A = this chain, B = another copy of it.
Amino acid sequence: MTESTRIVLAARPVGAPTPANFRTETYRLPETAEGQVLLRTRYLSLDPYMRGRMSAAKSYAQPVAIGEVMVGQTVSEVLESRAAGYAKGDVVLAQSGWQTHQVTAAAGLRTLDPDIAPVSTALGVLGMPGFTAYSGLLKIGRPKAGETLVVAAATGPVGSVVGQLAKREGLEVVGIAGGPQKVAYLRELGFDAAIDHRAPDFAAQLAAAVPDGIDIYFENVGGAVAQAVYPLLNNFARVPVCGLIAHYNEEGSEGADRLPAFVGRILFRSLTIRGFIQSEFVEELRPRFLREMAGWVADGTVRYREDVVTGLANAPEAFIGLLSGRNFGKLIVRVD
C-alpha cells in the first residue's frame, strides 16, 4: 500500500457547502518512520463541527487550510507498525481525517477493544458525541428527578444519549426532531414526548408538552427551535450549549436584534447559559463515562442508531445532508 485517497478543502463555502468545496486527490504515502504507524481508515466520523473548520474564522479550533485534508475522527486499522504497543491488525481511534490511509505518529492513538462494543461506536455513543451528551448533561445540566428536559436534534448521537440518560435520571424528557420517522423513533427510545419541528404549530405543541416549563434545554441547534424554547425556560434553568447547527451556514444576520431580550431573560429567570466542548471534562469524567456507557450499551439501557454511508467519495454529500438534518442517527462513512 503506497497511495492514499483524500478529500481536501478546495474552497471555503459561502452559506451551505456544495460539492465544489471539496476535491479528491491521490497522494503517495511516506515511509513509516520509527514511532509511526500506517493506518487504513475503516470508519470516518462526520460531525457538525466540521462546518466551522471549513470557514476562515477561528472558533475553538484552527480552520482547515485550503488544499488541506478535511479533519475528522476515524476508526482505523493498523497495517504496519513501527511503534511500541501497536501491532498489525490493531483497531485504533485516530484523527486521520477524510482519507483512506495515513502514516502518523502512534502517540495519541487509542486502541479499541471490539469485544466491548462494535468499534464504530467509538465515533458515536461511546465517543465524542456520547461524551458530549454525558458530560454536558451531568456537569452543566445538573438533572434532578422530576424536572423537564428538552433536547433538539434528538435522534442524533448527542441528543439521543442526552434524552436516554435524562430518562435514567428520572426526568420528563421531550425530544425535538424533523419528520415523522424520527419522531416515532424518539417514542421508541422512551422519550415522554416527541415533537416535529417542521410542524406549522411546532411552538404551540412544544408549549403544550411542557406544562411545568423547561428546566434543562440541551442546546445543540439554535435557530427557530431555540426561539421556541427560550420563553418556556423556568427560573434557574440550565442551558448547556454544545452546538448551534442551525447557524453554521449563516452569513451574518437579519431582522430585529434579539440580544437584549435574550440577556434580559437570562437575568429575569436566573438562567445559566454555559458553552462547553467535551474536552473540558475528559480528564475528570471520561474513564467513568467509558465504563458506564459501555455497560448501558451492552445491557440495552442506552440504544444508539448509526447512519452509515459507504465509500469516501460519498462523504461530501453526506456531510452536506448532515447540516440540513438528512441523516438519521450517527453519521459515519464506511471507508473500506
Kindly specify which of A210-218, A268-276, A282-290, A291-299 makes contact with the partner chain: A268-276
For A258, A274, A275, the residue with the greatest tally of chain B CB atoms inside 10 Å of its CB is: A275
* Chain A: interface residue total (CB-CB under 8 A): 40
Interface residue? A255 (CB, 8 A): yes
Whether A257 and B260, one on each chain, are in contact in the complex, defined by CB atoms closer than 8 angstroms, is: no
Report how far A222 CA is from B247 CA in the complex, Å: 24
Q: A222-B263, A277-B270 are in contact. Are A253 and B258 (CB under 8 A)?
A: yes
Residues of B within 8 A of A264 (CB): 59, 244, 247
Q: A253-B257, A259-B257 are in contact. Are A59 and B242 (CB under 8 A)?
A: no
CB distance from A241 to the nearest CB of B (A): 5
Per-residue CB contact flags for chain A residues 156-176 toward chain B (1 = under 8 Å, else 0) read 000000000000000000000
Q: A253-B259, A258-B259, A263-B222 are in contact. Are A273 and B270 (CB under 8 A)?
A: no
Whether B253 and A260, one on each chain, are in contact in the complex, defined by CB atoms closer than 8 angstroms, is: yes
Whether A275 and B268, one on each chain, are in contact in the complex, defined by CB atoms closer than 8 angstroms, is: yes
Interface residue? A280 (CB, 8 A): yes
Report how far A219 CA is from B267 CA in the complex, Å: 10
Partner of A260, one of B235, B242, B247: B247
Q: A258-B259, A260-B250 are in contact. Are A268 and B222 (CB under 8 A)?
A: no
Identify 23 residue pairs between A and B in the complex whose beta-carbon atoms are under 8 Å apart, listed by A's number.
Answer: A59-B268, A60-B235, A60-B270, A222-B260, A226-B263, A241-B263, A241-B266, A242-B267, A244-B264, A252-B256, A253-B256, A253-B257, A253-B258, A253-B261, A254-B256, A255-B257, A256-B257, A257-B257, A268-B275, A271-B273, A271-B275, A272-B272, A272-B275
